[in-house]
Amino acid sequence: MTMPTSTLWGSDSDQQVTCISCGETLAREDAREYDKYGDRWEREGKTFEYLCKPCHREYCHQNREGLEEALVAADAGRTDRTKFLRRFCELTTESAKFD
């Protein structure tokens, strides 16, 4: 019995992706998957963003549970920096009270 030449996930050998941190375009096989929800193992129905290896090494690998929801609630990218930081700190401080 011969094994198929492609992997379970498909062939990425010629796919180009862009690092979401620095903007570099690179081969998919040279990139690292990034899942903003922190669960890259649950793959069904997902699309991933990518980081180049240097950016992947630099980002924090700590648990991100609840981070995306807090960023949305604090209006990340939709309000000015001061308002965003104030609201984000309020939300994370409130959350820490209940942990």
Is residue 61 a contact partner of residue 44, using CB atoms and an 8 Å limit?
no
- pTM, two decimals, is 0.50
Question: Please, what is the average pLDDT of the chain?
Answer: 80
CA distance 58 to 51: 10
Confidence of residue 5 (pLDDT cuts 50, 70, 90): very low
Q: What is the mean pLDDT of residues 70-93?
A: 92
Distance from the first to the final alpha carbon of the chain? 53
**Residue 52 is encoded by which pair of tokens?**
């180049």
